[in-house]
Amino acid sequence: MKIEMIPTDKIKPDKEQPRKTFDKGRLEGLAETFKEEGIIQPIEIDENFIITVGERRWRAAKLAGLKELPCIIKKTDNKLKRQLIEEFHKENISALEKARAVKQLITSHEHAKLKGQGIDQGINKTAKELGIGENYIRSLLSVLEDKELEKAVENEKITFTVAQEAKDKLGVEEAKTIAKLPKSQQIGKMEVREIARAKPEVKDELFEEVIEDTKRGYRPTIPQIAEKAKAIEGRRKPVFKLDKKIIPSDLSRKVEETVIQLDNQIKFITENWTLFQTIPQRDKDRLVAILRVHYEAFLKIYKMLGGKLR
């Protein structure tokens, strides 16, 4: 294959190139290498001198002040596919750029004939061309389904991985809720997975509690999230089951037993108050919130039974 020396200023970047960002530090480092050793690996351009593969090298060469670059002039029928295959397996292309490029490839002219067969056929064809799994492609595309979430990832409000995991496992609104938090208060991929493992009837409340914890500066660990799920599930269960045939005296006894049980727990807390004073403030805040809920519930029952406040 013939290699030609082409003036650097004559070469143009491809506006449709999948990679949109280039690390400034790495470019400067590569430029220093080019100054000392020159550029060895040629870049690939089309007949109009538009770059197919090697834009990073071209940018570094310009920084280094190189007047000419070794190039392979090659006509490419589907430049996007060629670029994507080249870039896809590089570690330094962002997941968002990969996702956008894959979406562009699926909807490109080459796949236009598949439109009548649905996007599944486009994904299937793209997966074969790139040598990757269909599920991986679907997972990449999921973040692009919501423009607000995509913009949050682009603006580095949330990582692509967390956005992807939260949207797929919890829902798009939950993913956007995480994105609105400061980075220091955000939960990670593993925490999202732990919340997703909770039972469906518990999951929403668990997510809200974890988010409230992070807002207060307390980020629960994986085991703590699992314990929270159990606690929420326990709160949802009635203290005792009511039998429709139960007689009033038995019902009264069951209520009395429940109150005595709770009274014993309160006595335990008051008798060990010195020990409870040593717990972190964030845990005290959580206990206050839980006690407030129980206080309001018992006050309501008290009034329903005819009790009067002094």
Q: What percent of the chain has pLDDT over 70?
A: 82
Tokens 């000392």, located at residue: 36
pTM here is: 0.59
Q: Are 43 and 82 a contacting pair, CB within 8 Å?
A: no
For 50, the 3-state DSSP assignment is strand
Rounded alpha-carbon distances, angstroms, from residue 144 to 99, 153, 227, 293:
8, 10, 34, 40
pLDDT tens, 107-145? 764 544 545 455 667 778 777 777 778 888 888 889 999
Q: Is the model's pLDDT at 186 over the cut of 50? A: yes
